[in-house]
Structure 1
């Protein structure tokens, strides 16, 4: 079975050694997405001198950009967020995420009842100190080709 991969050109793709998304058969696996535009974090959270986040109010902005990046990757496979069947949302602060996630997710999926299995998980740290959220996606698309 042929595997097709896509990247966004972020420096950590090479540094860490992974692809942003891959399609195998009718399934697209999207690595954990975050709020970046190339090498720059979008809406970075403020941190104190020890690197701890001091304000979680950028959660909504980071989550919105995360869905934009996922949509861009899915589009490269001829898919969209409409094809997502599962997502896992990793956050530093569950309360801050729950305060904005419903509105952001509904807008991203363009439905009041997004048709996606979703899990939200609170974590101690993400890849970057100013990062508040990361979302992993699995999408199913018709057919078994990788074109």
Structure 2
């Protein structure tokens, strides 16, 4: 892999980073790209995992709010490694396995985590049939821009 001098990377150190083969965040110049964030703790244990049926599918979506909250906490941890915050986020992609439940949970948690009724970033929500980890109901990607130039 070619290393670029203006590229910085960060990861959480969870097992699936090496299994899949990726980093959690990449900064190039003034832009930070975060891979899809999940609701895990620092040890890689899932926070608020969904209860699954015999086929490995979620049986309810009541854990979405708790999963969103931890997902945003994980994003904040990564952004901080680059000297950024959620205030620097310009775009996010929200992936949920149930859109009505996900929309309700994300609407509440996003406002809480950004600290405002209308977070100042573009956001899209996508309904998906499943995520990489069956116990996950939500995943969020982020793009942040840090303008380091003097105003």
Alignment match, 1:23: 27
Aligned-residue RMSD, C-alpha? 1.0
Instruction: Check whether the contact 1:33–1:135 (CA below 8 A) recurs between aligned residues.
Output: yes
Aligned-residue offset at 1:113: 0.8
Q: Which residue number corresponds to residue 103 of structure 1?
A: 108
Q: Count residues in correspondence.
A: 144
Instruction: Give unpaired runs (5+ residues) of structure 2.
Output: none
- CA distance, structure 2, for counterparts of residue 103 and residue 122 of structure 1: 18
Q: Which runs of 4+ in 1 moved over 6 A?
A: none
Where does the alignment leave 5 or more consecutive residues of structure 1 unmatched? none
Shift of 1:94: 0.3
By how many angstroms is 1:100 displaced? Answer: 1.6
TM-score (norm 1): 0.95
Contact 1:25 1:143 in 2 (8 A): no
Looking at structure 2, the residues matched to 56 and 120 of structure 1 have their Cα atoms a distance apart, in angstroms, of 16
1:8 aligns with 2:12: yes
Q: Which has the higher contact order (CA 8 A, sep 6+)?
A: 1
**Residue 61 of structure 2: SS of its match in structure 1?**
coil
